[in-house]
């Protein structure tokens, strides 16, 4: 059975419209059918039985219809309408004597929660109870409970030590939590409706009690009863729950209360946001125990600190053996490490993605670096031991890189040290630090080897003193779903082993030895996150539309069949980005057409009929190909990468497009080109594509769509010129932010600058959407798309596909459903005019969906 339908009968069309708009505010995305029969055809006041009959028929559902009416003759007209109806339908209709406005709000919320026709009507009838209770002391109308509420002082005295958060309880007792109402207007209709909605469907009986004001417990499932709590700002409210989902229910309520029941705060409400930019960017108040680090991997972790102790490598000072023996020792050590690095690379490619595995490619190249090995060999020839000669060579290379002005090359010194240490450990027999477990890891940074060995079952979270959000440690923590913060500063390394550490990897919040209330708050937030994720997953396979009916596709980014299959399971509508690099890295020659067709077919099979978007090879100076040696570039991110490399090596692009076209004759496939700066490059790529089409068959595959990645500001600025040449545009916000802010995404010293929420980046996204208009789909496949808080902004700007990692799909669908394209426009405008990324982030947070 569906949801009870509602009919509003009023003398005034304007009154009915406004009442329905008010009630809709409480419904979020619940599709309750509310029909209006109000006013007369000539625009005057009055009610019309025939119109009411039609409205009832339109609202009809097997669950029944509840009719709410305003003044006297409205009731007569409604009764007459029943007589005009088919008898079976009339039997499902209940004329409800509730007050129109208050009754409609409560009836709508009850209907959205799946209440029966009688319960919907009962809720509506009780609609004045809240007002009566609120005004009871000075009102001639008796409070519905009959009992006079104790004074605030009396009530608090009765609960002297009730803390905020979850309260310990004995087995078999209800779960109990306490929260303080922070909403300016108290727990009024909108936040109360949010609370009732959030609990609907949970297998728990939940009650609320106002501890400050006193009074009886009321069922949290009834909006009318919640209103009788009279909970105003600052009041403490107890939530108690029993049943299988009791703990979850209390967690949900505490989490909602923490977020002020998702009511926009006055400072961040869309209407006035543009006036208060300065206020918006002020730092968030934090409890005394809080530090702020950089968010690196979402999720909340609480546990004892486990410090990673790295034993120093001591190179013995003793005499060296014969040079040939020392050379053999070094060659053996390098071979051993090569095997380990390859195994780590393969494991990463299997378990996370080929992109992440590229870190190890760099290490393999350094391991066999002829300069480094030649220097070590020279040391051995002059009588040094293998360990001493190699240590000296590594130190020299590291120093030379560290002295360079170029930050990219300077950062490579870390990789030289990581590789060098592995070989030296092998030579002198020193163990690499074994990662401690069963707590929160605290370290300066992790080597790629340590990061790849992270076990989510045993490591609650990670705190790194150094590193950036796009460092290998952060990427691998994200891939394993371990909450992490980075860049916390050296102070964290002074922590005593076992100190409780709590962190929120989505916000960068970090607490060292937090007090009980902070722990409880974070615990409740963690439980609520889990519950929210489970709920989002439950409906993730349904298509997602905004509240005002705009369909938004949620795609999955992947490089392996396993990732794409995970996307299917999690409800993806499409595969928005396949990074085809996985097939080209780590080998001695490029894959031929047949091998590519087979590999892409495996991806298409995993997609189970969904459209698959293959991005042509995106490698270059930062991701080198062994079989395509390139001259050293001092700025590889501005050098020959992406489509530039493909056009410089036409054989590579020709083979890849031939494979794509062959597959497109079998399945719905899209192809897109990365790192395009000019129309000329795009036209040249399309020429190679046209040749591939002619080579494969007599006609273009009907389902083949051709797109371009917008990653270079010039392309966004020239989007109007590009649009006629493509079927779709996919914005790579990772690169677009890096190039717009001139801040390399992998360089931890400037990575925070490359913020995709910077208004400059948003303006470029807006330009692309405006240029594309309704004719071309605009997607976002960069990391920004996976941020539920930013989703509404992107949708408001005109983006209609968000492509994200498999785990993020359910949350982004939920974010889509919580967005209204129309309602976010003031916030979008304010964001475009904001003075920086943090101001934008605050604006975006005002419409954060439930799980974020
Ligand atoms: C991007 O730049 O946003 C993108 C999706 O491509 P990649 O991260 O592979 O460079
Ligand atoms: Mg990119």
| Ligand 1 nearest atom to the CA of residue 557, by list position | 5
The C-alpha atoms of residue 842 and residue 831 are separated, in whole angstroms, by 9
**136-159: average pLDDT:** 36
Answer whether residue 275 shows pLDDT above 80: no
Answer whether residue 359 shows pLDDT above 70: no
Q: Which has the higher per-residue pLDDT, 197 or 165?
A: 197
Cβ 555 under 6 angstroms from ligand 1: no
* Cα of 525 vs its chain's centroid, Å: 16
Answer whether residue 147 shows pLDDT above 60: no
Answer whether residue 16 shows pLDDT above 70: yes
Q: pLDDT tens digits, residue range 55-92?
A: 999 999 889 999 999 987 888 889 889 988 888 888 99
Cβ 735 under 6 angstroms from ligand 1: yes
User: Cβ(797)–Cβ(766) under 8 Å?
Assistant: yes
Answer whether residue 279 shows pLDDT above 70: no
| Ligand 1 nearest atom to the CA of residue 735, by list position | 2
**Among 32-41, 527-536, 590-599, 747-756, the range of highest mean pLDDT:** 590-599
Q: Ligand 1 centroid vs 620 CA: distance in angstroms?
A: 13
The C-alpha atoms of residue 794 and residue 786 are separated, in whole angstroms, by 11
Name the least confident of 311-320, 501-510, 782-791. Answer: 311-320
- Tokens linked to 166: 């979850």
- Choice among 11, 188, 511, 781 that is catalytic: 781
Q: Which has the higher per-residue pLDDT, 703 or 262?
A: 703
What percent of the chain stands above pLDDT 90?
Answer: 41
* Residue 194, strand partner residues: none
Q: Ligand 2 centroid vs 674 CA: distance in angstroms?
A: 7
User: Cβ(747)–Cβ(471) under 8 Å?
Assistant: no
> How does residue 282 score in pLDDT terms, banded at 50, 70 and 90?
very low
Q: Ligand 2 centroid vs 806 CA: distance in angstroms?
A: 18
| Ligand 1 nearest atom to the CA of residue 577, by list position | 5
Residue whose token pair is 């894959």: 591
Which pLDDT value is given to residue 407? 53
Task: Kindly report the protein residue whose alpha carbon is nearest to atom 9 of ligand 1.
Answer: 579
Q: Ligand 2 centroid vs 643 CA: distance in angstroms?
A: 11
Cβ 732 under 6 angstroms from ligand 1: yes
Which pLDDT value is given to residue 575? 97
The C-alpha atoms of residue 757 and residue 736 are separated, in whole angstroms, by 11
Which pLDDT value is given to residue 753? 87
Mean pLDDT, the chain, rounded, equals 83
Q: pLDDT tens digits, residue range 393-433?
A: 988 888 877 776 655 566 567 678 778 888 988 888 877 66
Which pLDDT value is given to residue 143? 34
Q: Ligand 2 centroid vs 732 CA: distance in angstroms?
A: 5
Residue whose token pair is 């109990």: 176
Task: Kindly report the protein residue whose alpha carbon is nearest to atom 3 of ligand 1.
Answer: 732
The C-alpha atoms of residue 486 and residue 794 are separated, in whole angstroms, by 27
Non-local (6+) Cβ contacts of 387 within 8 A are: 315, 316, 424, 427, 428
Cβ 781 under 6 angstroms from ligand 1: yes
The helix-helix angle for 516-538 and 246-258 (nearest 10°) equals 110
Which pLDDT value is given to residue 622? 62
DSSP tag of 221: T
Task: Kindly report the protein residue whose alpha carbon is nearest to atom 4 of ligand 1.
Answer: 732
| Ligand 1 nearest atom to the CA of residue 782, by list position | 3
Burial class of 633 by CB neighbour count within 10 A (0 to 12, 13 to 18, 19+): middle
Substitution candidate for ligand 1 out of 674, 676, 744, 808 with most atoms within 8 A of CB: 674
Answer whether residue 268 shows pLDDT above 50: no
Task: Kindly report the protein residue whose alpha carbon is nearest to atom 10 of ligand 1.
Answer: 735
Q: Ligand 2 centroid vs 707 CA: distance in angstroms?
A: 14
| Ligand 1 nearest atom to the CA of residue 736, by list position | 2
Count CA atoms closer than 13 A to 335's CA, side-chain side. 6
- Tokens linked to 130: 């809240």
Which pLDDT value is given to residue 286? 38
Q: pLDDT tens digits, residue range 744-777?
A: 876 767 877 889 999 999 999 999 999 999 989 9
**730-753: average pLDDT:** 87
| Ligand 1 nearest atom to the CA of residue 730, by list position | 5
* Residue 778, strand partner residues: 729
Cβ 734 under 6 angstroms from ligand 1: yes
Which pLDDT value is given to residue 818? 92
Among candidates 236, 207, 232, which has minimal Cα distance to 222? 207
Does the annotation mark 781 as catalytic?
Answer: yes
> Distances from the Cα of 731 to the Cαs of 637, 736, 737, in angstroms?
17, 8, 10
Which pLDDT value is given to residue 353? 60
Cβ 782 under 6 angstroms from ligand 1: yes
Q: Ligand 1 centroid vs 593 CA: distance in angstroms?
A: 25
Substitution candidate for ligand 1 out of 470, 782, 784 with most atoms within 8 A of CB: 782
Task: Kindly report the protein residue whose alpha carbon is nearest to atom 8 of ligand 1.
Answer: 734
**Positive or negative: CA dihedral 653, 658, 660, 664:** positive
Substitution candidate for ligand 1 out of 578, 616, 709, 787 with most atoms within 8 A of CB: 709
Instruction: Specify the 3-state DSSP secondary structure of 332.
Output: helix
**709-721: average pLDDT:** 97
Q: Ligand 1 centroid vs 749 CA: distance in angstroms?
A: 20
Which pLDDT value is given to residue 746? 67
Q: pLDDT tens digits, residue range 506-562?
A: 878 899 888 888 888 888 888 888 788 888 888 999 999 999 999 999 999 988 888
Q: Which has the higher per-residue pLDDT, 278 or 678?
A: 678
Name the least confident of 2-11, 626-635, 799-808. Answer: 626-635
**Positive or negative: CA dihedral 66, 72, 74, 76:** positive
* Residue 485, strand partner residues: 295, 463
| Ligand 1 nearest atom to the CA of residue 734, by list position | 3
**Among 4-18, 242-256, 455-469, the range of highest mean pLDDT:** 4-18
Which pLDDT value is given to residue 280? 19
Cβ 711 under 6 angstroms from ligand 1: yes
Among candidates 800, 311, 296, which has minimal Cα distance to 503? 296
> How does residue 620 score in pLDDT terms, banded at 50, 70 and 90?
confident
* Cα of 406 vs its chain's centroid, Å: 33
Which pLDDT value is given to residue 6? 95
Which pLDDT value is given to residue 254? 79
Answer whether residue 638 shows pLDDT above 90: yes
Answer whether residue 307 shows pLDDT above 50: yes
Q: Ligand 1 centroid vs 555 CA: distance in angstroms?
A: 15
User: Cβ(850)–Cβ(813) under 8 Å?
Assistant: no
Q: pLDDT tens digits, residue range 93-112?
A: 999 989 999 999 999 988 88
Substitution candidate for ligand 1 out of 357, 555, 711 with most atoms within 8 A of CB: 711
Q: pLDDT tens digits, residue range 473-518?
A: 777 787 677 999 988 877 788 888 999 999 998 878 899 888 888 8
Parallel, antiparallel, or unpaired for β 439-443 and 612-615? Answer: unpaired
Residue whose token pair is 């300069």: 371
**656-676: average pLDDT:** 97
Task: Kindly report the protein residue whose alpha carbon is nearest to atom 6 of ligand 1.
Answer: 732
- Choice among 188, 472, 511, 529 that is catalytic: 472
Residue whose token pair is 């934090």: 286
Does the annotation mark 699 as catalytic?
Answer: no
Which pLDDT value is given to residue 792? 93
Phi, psi of 291 (to 5 degrees): -115, 165
């Amino acid at each position: 059975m569906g949801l009870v339908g509602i009919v509003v009968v009023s003398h005034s069309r304007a009154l009915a419209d406004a009442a329905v708009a008010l009630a809709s505010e409480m419904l979020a995305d619940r599709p309750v059918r509310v029909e209006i029969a109000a006013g007369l055809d000539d625009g005057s006041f009055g009610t019309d039985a025939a119109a009411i009959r039609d409205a009832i028929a339109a609202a009809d559902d097997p669950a029944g219809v509840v009719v709410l009416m305003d003044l006297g003759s409205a009731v007569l007209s409604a009764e007459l309408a029943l007589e005009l109806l088919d008898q079976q339908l009339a039997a499902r209709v209940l004329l409800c004597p509730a007050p129109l406005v208050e009754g409609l709000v409560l009836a709508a919320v009850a209907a959205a929660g799946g209440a029966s026709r009688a319960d919907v009507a009962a809720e509506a009838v009780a609609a004045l109870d809240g007002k009566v209770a609120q005004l009871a002391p000075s009102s001639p109308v008796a409070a519905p409970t009959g009992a006079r509420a104790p004074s605030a002082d009396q009530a608090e005295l009765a609960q002297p030590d009730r803390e905020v958060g979850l309260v310990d309880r004995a087995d078999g007792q209800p779960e109990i939590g306490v929260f303080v109402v922070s909403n300016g207007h108290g727990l009024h209709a909108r936040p109360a409706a949010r609370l009732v909605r959030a609990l609907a469907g949970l297998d728990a009986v939940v009650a609320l009690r106002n501890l400050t004001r006193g009074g009886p417990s009321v069922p949290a499932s009834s909006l009318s009863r919640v209103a009788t709590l009279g909970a105003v700002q600052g009041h403490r409210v107890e939530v108690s729950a029993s049943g299988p989902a009791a703990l979850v229910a209390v967690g949900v309520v505490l989490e909602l209360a923490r977020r002020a029941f998702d009511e926009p705060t006055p400072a961040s409400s869309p209407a006035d946001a543009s006036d208060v930019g300065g206020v918006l960017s002020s730092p968030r108040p934090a409890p005394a125990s809080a530090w702020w680090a950089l968010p690196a991997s979402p999720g909340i972790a609480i546990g004892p600190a486990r410090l990673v102790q790295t034993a120093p490598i001591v190179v013995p000072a003793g005499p060296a053996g014969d040079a040939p023996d020392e050379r053999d020792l070094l060659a053996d050590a390098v071979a051993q490490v090569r095997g380990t690095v390859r195994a780590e690379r393969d494991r990463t490619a299997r378990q996370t993605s080929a992109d992440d595995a590229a870190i190890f490619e760099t290490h393999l190249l350094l391991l066999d670096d002829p300069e480094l090995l030649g220097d070590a060999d020279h040391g051995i020839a002059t009588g040094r031991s293998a360990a001493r000669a190699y240590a000296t060579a590594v130190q020299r290379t590291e120093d030379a890189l560290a002295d360079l002005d170029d930050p990219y090359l300077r950062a490579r010194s870390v990789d030289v040290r990581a590789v060098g240490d592995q070989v030296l450990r092998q030579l002198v027999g020193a163990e690499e630090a074994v990662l401690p477990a069963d707590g929160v890891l605290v370290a300066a940074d992790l080597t790629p080897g340590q990061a790849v060995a992270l076990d989510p079952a045993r490591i609650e979270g990670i705190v790194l003193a150094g590193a950036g959000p796009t460092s290998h440690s952060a990427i691998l923590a994200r891939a394993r779903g371990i909450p992490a913060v980075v860049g916390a500063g050296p102070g964290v390394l002074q922590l005593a082993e076992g100190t409780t550490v709590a962190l929120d990897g989505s916000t960068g919040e970090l607490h060292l030895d937090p007090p009980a209330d902070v722990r409880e708050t974070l615990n409740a937030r963690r439980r609520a996150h889990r519950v929210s994720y489970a709920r989002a997953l439950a409906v993730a396979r349904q298509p997602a539309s905004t509240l005002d009916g705009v369909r938004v596709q949620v795609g999955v980014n992947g490089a392996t069949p396993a990732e794409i299959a995970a996307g299917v399971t999690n409800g993806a509508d499409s595969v928005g980005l396949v990074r085809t690099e996985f097939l080209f890295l780590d080998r001695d020659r490029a894959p031929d057409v047949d091998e590519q067709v087979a590999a892409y077919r495996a991806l298409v099979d995993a997609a189970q009929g969904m459209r698959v978007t293959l991005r042509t090879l995106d490698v270059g100076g930062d991701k080198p190909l062994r079989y395509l040696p390139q001259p050293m570039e001092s700025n590889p991110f501005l050098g020959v990468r992406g489509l530039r490399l493909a056009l410089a090596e036409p054989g590579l692009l020709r083979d890849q497009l031939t494979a794509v076209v062959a597959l497109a004759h079998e399945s719905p496939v899209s192809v897109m080109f990365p790192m395009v700066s000019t129309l000329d490059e795009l036209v040249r790529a399309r020429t190679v594509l046209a040749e591939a089409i002619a080579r494969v068959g007599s006609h273009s595959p009907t389902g083949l769509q051709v797109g371009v990645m917008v990653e270079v500001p010039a392309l966004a600025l020239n989007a109007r010129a590009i649009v006629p040449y493509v079927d779709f545009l996919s914005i790579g916000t990772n690169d677009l932010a890096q190039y717009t802010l001139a801040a390399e995404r992998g360089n931890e010293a400037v990575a925070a600058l490359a913020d995709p929420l910077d208004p400059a980046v948003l303006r470029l996204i807006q330009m692309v959407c405006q240029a594309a208009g309704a004719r071309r789909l605009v997607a976002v496949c960069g990391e920004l798309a996976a941020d539920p808080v930013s989703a509404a902004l992107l949708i408001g700007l005109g983006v209609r596909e968000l492509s994200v990692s498999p785990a993020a799909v359910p949350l982004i669908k939920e974010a889509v459903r919580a967005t209204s394209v129309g309602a976010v426009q003031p916030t979008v405008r304010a964001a475009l005019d904001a003075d920086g990324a943090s101001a934008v982030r605050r604006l975006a947070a005002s419409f954060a969906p439930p799980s974020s």
